[in-house]
Amino acid sequence: MKTKKYRILLLSLLCCLLILSCEDFVEIDPPNFKIVSQTVFENDETAISAVTGIYNELINSDFSNGYISSITVLAGMSPDIFEIRSETDNRYGPFQQNQISPAESPDASANYNLWSSAYGIIYMANSVLEGLEHSTTITDDIREMLMGQALFIRSFTYFYLTNLYGDVPLVLTTDFHQNASASRNASSEVLEQIVNDLNLALTRLEGTDAYKDSERFNVNRYVVLAFTARVYLYQQNWQKASELSSQVISQTSMYEILEDLDQVFLANSREAIWQLSPIGKGNILTYTWEGYVFRGNNSSPFKLSDDFVASLQEKDKRRTHWIGYNSSKNFFYPHKYKDKMSINHITEYSMVLRLSEQYLIRAEANAQQGKISEGIADLDKIRQRANLDLIADTNPGIGKEELLNAIMAERKLELFSEWGHRWFDLKRTGKASEVLASIKPLWQDTDVLFPIPGEDRAKNSNLSQNDGY
């Protein structure tokens, strides 16, 4: 009797054990390497990290890293500065010949990488903006600063997108259900958003004059001012462009044109307004991608065109300091960055905005407004450093058009191999066809815009293609 009771008791206990296989068992905590998004924006420290994350990623992100799918390399190939070294190069060749495929070829995948990485950064900025907006626990000052920085980075990215592709989808949220079928917004609309956001960023960054930790990869108010000056220049808002660039140039305690050309691209150089640090790569390789991609070794896929090199005068310091020569294969390559292979030893940061451009912006804006002498002064600032004759000495009576042409020529020599300046200059001044048709046999007027990548068009039928593709 007793044993039977005992057995039944045991049995019911076992049954309970079996059935009690509680549903809580399969709940798991987030793993050691993930922080739930909501938590990220609950305190200042992690919220700051989310923005630091964007700075870090800018040097890993294809469009901005200066590497093989970056604006520096791909938009660098499009105008009249670079040439490919192998006739059969099917990655850079089509960019150089302005014959980019929308899909299924090495050049198309480069174009796709550029495009999609830019939207990756935009997603990160949107995610930060949304997180900060919804957070109730974050310090107000920090919120202002971080939102200002995120707005800037988003505008910065859109500026390049619209300049490369024309109309682009204006994605301002992280909601993929909605964004997956977004169609292209007119470039004017995109630009309007850019200008509004930049002005908003300026307000939010009002108290942020100094670089956080004295590191010029952090965004302060002058970074935004300098970039907004460029946006106004592209919009031909000469007055604003000159006004904002003046604000940057006048910060002499922070910025100056460095006499020694070998120092310009060093980390936190005083000519730098905004740089990206190789520390964001997160590995032991501490060189910039520009330093690596333009190292000019025998297998380098591209070279500076002989015409471009010839356009630099013998005495031009930029020729000796910023251009390298590979004697075994007999070609020239950009040599602004000296560090090509360092390990655990950062000397250079990747330059995004520098003071020299601000002088050229103001020179152009002033010249356009008929302020010729001011224009000459700013242009000569750059020429002087390059060891060239000053316009003020050789041609003080220069006319407006001639001065503008001189500024344009100077921009080409000064800013080559940096962020596609030449390509965008030719486009914004409407001179792309005029200049390029003669040297690019396959040139068509529609080549001023890159094709919208076929991969994304296949997944979103609302994305239209640019003309000519």
Partner 1 sequence: MKNNHVNTCIRKIAIPIFILAYSFYLPLFAHSPMGTLGISPPYEPIQQDYLIQGIVTDIDSPLPGVNILIKGTARGTLSDMEGAYGLRVSSTDTLVFSYVGYRTLTIAVHGLKKLDVILQSEATQLQEVEVNAGYYTVKDKERTGSISKINGKEIELQPIVSPLEALQGRMAGVEVIQQNGIPGSAPIIRIRGQNSLRSEGNYPLYIIDGVPIISTPVTGGSNMFSNGIDPLSSLNLANIESIEVLKDADATAIYGSRGANGVVLITTKKGKGYNRKTELEAHLYSGLGTVSNKMDLVNTQQYISIRKAALENDGREPNEIADYDLLLWNQNGYTDWQEVLFGGTSTISDFNVSASGGNSTTSFRLGGSFHNEGTVFPGDNGYQKVTGGLQLNHTSEDKRLNLDFTLNYGVDRIDVMANSSNLIRTAISLPPNAPHVYNEDGSLNWEDWTYSAWDNPLAAVLHRTSTDQGNSIIANLGLSIHLFKGLTFRTNMGYTNLQRDYKALLSKDQYSPEIREGANHIAVVTQRNRSSWILEPQLVYTKKIGKGTLDGLLGSTFQQNENKNLNVSGAGFVTESLMGDLSAAKAISVDNNDQIKYKYNAIFARLGYNFEHKYFINLTGRRDGSSRFGPNKRFANFWAIGGSWIFSEENFIKKHLPFLSFGKLRGSYGITGNDQIADYGYLDAYEATPGPNGLYPTQLTNPDYSWEENKKLEAAIELGFIEDRINLGLSWYRNRSSNQLVGFPLPTITGFSSVQANLPATVQNMGWEIELTSLNVNSNNFRWQTFFNLTVPNNKLLNFPNIDLTSYANTYRVGYPLNISLLYQYEGVDPETGLYRVMDVNEDGRYDYEDRTVIKNTGSRYFGGLNNNLTYKGLEFQFLLQFVKHEGYMNYMGLPGQKNTQTADFYKAWQNGNNPNIQKASETYNASIAHSLFFLSEQSLADASFIRLKTLGLSYALPEVPLQKIGLRSCKLFLQGQNLITLTGYNGFNVEFPGGNNIPALRTVTLGAQFNF
Binding to partner 1 (CB under 8 A): which residues in 377-416? none
State the minimum distance, in angstroms, from the CB of residue 291 to partner 1: 13
CB neighbours of residue 90 within 10 Å: 13
- Contacts of residue 463, defined as CB under 8 A and 6 or more positions apart, other chains included, come to 169, 183, 184, 452, 456, 457
Are 76 and 420 in contact, with CB atoms under 8 Å apart? yes
166 binds partner 1 (CB under 8 A): no
Are 184 and 463 in contact, with CB atoms under 8 Å apart? yes
Q: One symbol per residue from 318 to 347: x for binding partner 1 (CB under 8 A), - otherwise; what is it? A: -----------------------x-xx---
Longest dimension (CA), the chain: 122
What's the token pair of residue 433? 């066809």
- Minimum CB distance to partner 1 smaller for 105 or for 313: 105
7 binds partner 1 (CB under 8 A): yes
253 binds partner 1 (CB under 8 A): no
Q: One symbol per residue from 269 to 298: x for binding partner 1 (CB under 8 A), - otherwise; what is it? A: --------x-xxxxxx--------------
Binding to partner 1 (CB under 8 A): which residues in 112-131? 112, 115-116, 119-120, 122-124, 126-127
d(CA 179, CA 401) in angstroms, rounded, equals 45
- Minimum CB distance to partner 1 smaller for 114 or for 304: 114
- Contacts of residue 29, defined as CB under 8 A and 6 or more positions apart, other chains included, come to none
Interface residue with partner 1 among 43, 44, 46, 325 (CB under 8 A) is 46
| Binding range to partner 1, per CB under 8 A, among 110-118, 150-158, 387-395, 430-438 | 110-118
- Minimum CB distance to partner 1 smaller for 279 or for 390: 279
What Rg do the C-alpha atoms of the chain give, in angstroms? 26
- Minimum CB distance to partner 1 smaller for 19 or for 430: 19
State the minimum distance, in angstroms, from the CB of residue 52 to partner 1: 4
Alpha helices in 294-398 (DSSP H): 306-310, 317-321, 355-368, 372-385, 391-394
Question: Where are the extended beta strands (E) located within 243-349?
Answer: 272-276, 302-304, 323-326, 331-334
137 binds partner 1 (CB under 8 A): no
461 binds partner 1 (CB under 8 A): yes
State the minimum distance, in angstroms, from the CB of residue 69 to partner 1: 13
Phi, psi values for residue 228, rounded to 5°:
-65, -35
Chain-centroid distance of CA 199 in Å reads 19
- Minimum CB distance to partner 1 smaller for 46 or for 247: 46
